């Protein structure tokens, strides 16, 4: 644990010096991975699949504000859809515009979830997002969680039977629109997933705010355990093949707990063995306060090379 805390302090020091460059690199990597996921699911427009174009868009995302970079990635989805079905593309475009105008325009940090959530779904660990949001954000983040999950369901709809959908779209675009509504907007598995994810987010948020010892660790473990149970039930109740399988639920849930448990040391490192309860009062109230000190560790100092004196022979 001491090494983890030293690593955290070293990262904080590095970030304070080079935050602008670090954020740009992170946005570039996230955008690049997101575009690769998009192209693998719904890569219908050849120019957007060109590696040079993908890198160029990622570089543009690296210098744009978070909200605009997220919407630029979303617009590439719309571009691919226009190559398949104009009807579906228009519906998704309107959906993204509404998301931007009503929500992500005012909450730039939340817009990152819109891009990251489909990536996590694609690699099989979407369960970590509600736990992280429960630890660092608030229940309002459920909106971005829902939209991010919706984006993945849209991608999965096209990726599940891409060639057949493209063939149908050439003859009848409205048939693809009907399939889209049936498989995504009327899919009970989608609504089950977002309800489960939002419930876990709220549960983690409530538990980590309690005054009991090790509340963050308890919140992480409870959130991970509940997710495994809920999604296993969902696999038997609904067709969850677009989102997860039984094996991915078990392995992904356990991996999520491990990752979230590790992250909470970076976010909330306190020493409960030195907790103190303080009582005081004023004219109107009695106050009972529990004070828990933070664990502070200095960043590891760089070792200076030892200069050896050369002996001169007489």
Instruction: Classify residue 291 by its DSSP letter.
Output: E
**Which residues touch 58 (CB under 8 Å, ≥6 apart)?**
28, 29, 31, 32, 35
Rounded mean pLDDT, 238-247: 69
Q: What are phi and psi of 294, to 5 degrees?
A: -80, 150
- Cβ atoms 242, 157 nearer than 8 A: yes
Among left, alpha and beta (phi > 0; psi -120 to 50; other), residue 299 is: beta
**pLDDT tens for residues 31-70?**
999 999 999 888 888 899 899 999 999 999 999 988 889 8
Rounded mean pLDDT, 259-263: 77
pLDDT at 155: 87
* Domain extents in the chain: 2-291
- Cβ atoms 207, 226 nearer than 8 A: no
**pLDDT tens for residues 210-236?**
878 888 888 888 888 888 888 888 888
- Cβ atoms 227, 128 nearer than 8 A: no
Instruction: Classify residue 43 by its DSSP letter.
Output: -
The whole model's pTM is what? 0.81
Long-range contacts of 18-27 (CB under 8 A, 24+ apart): 24/62, 24/63, 25/62, 27/61, 27/62, 27/64, 27/66, 27/69
């Amino acid at each position: 644990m001491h090494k983890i805390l030293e690593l955290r302090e070293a990262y904080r020091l590095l970030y304070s010096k080079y935050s602008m460059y670090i954020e740009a690199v992170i946005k570039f990597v996230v955008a690049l991975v997101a575009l690769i996921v998009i192209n693998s699911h719904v890569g219908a427009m050849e120019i957007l699949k060109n590696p040079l174009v993908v890198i160029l868009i990622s570089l543009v995302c690296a210098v744009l504000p978070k909200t605009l970079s997220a919407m630029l990635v979303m617009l590439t989805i719309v571009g691919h859809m226009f190559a398949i079905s104009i009807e579906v593309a228009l519906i998704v475009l309107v959906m993204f515009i509404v998301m931007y105008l009503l929500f992500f325009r005012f909450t730039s940090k939340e817009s990152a979830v819109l891009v990251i959530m489909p990536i996590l779904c694609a690699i099989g660990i979407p369960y970590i997002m509600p736990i992280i949001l429960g630890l660092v954000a608030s229940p309002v983040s459920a909106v971005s969680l829902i939209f991010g999950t919706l984006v993945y369901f849209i991608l999965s709809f096209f990726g599940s039977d891409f060639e057949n959908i493209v063939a149908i779209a050439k003859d009848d675009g409205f048939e693809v629109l009907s399939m889209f509504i049936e498989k995504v907007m009327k899919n009970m598995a989608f609504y089950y997933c977002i309800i489960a994810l939002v419930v876990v987010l709220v549960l983690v948020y409530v538990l980590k705010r309690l005054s009991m010892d090790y509340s963050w660790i308890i919140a992480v473990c409870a959130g991970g355990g509940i997710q495994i149970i809920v999604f296993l039930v969902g696999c038997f109740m609904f067709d969850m093949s677009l989102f997860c399988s039984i094996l991915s639920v078990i392995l992904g849930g356990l991996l999520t707990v491990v990752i979230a448990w590790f992250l909470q040391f970076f976010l909330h490192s306190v020493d409960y063995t030195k907790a103190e309860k303080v009582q005081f009062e004023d004219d109107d109230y009695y106050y009972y306060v529990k004070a828990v000190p933070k664990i502070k560790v200095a960043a590891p100092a760089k070792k200076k090379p030892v200069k050896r004196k050369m002996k001169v022979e007489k």
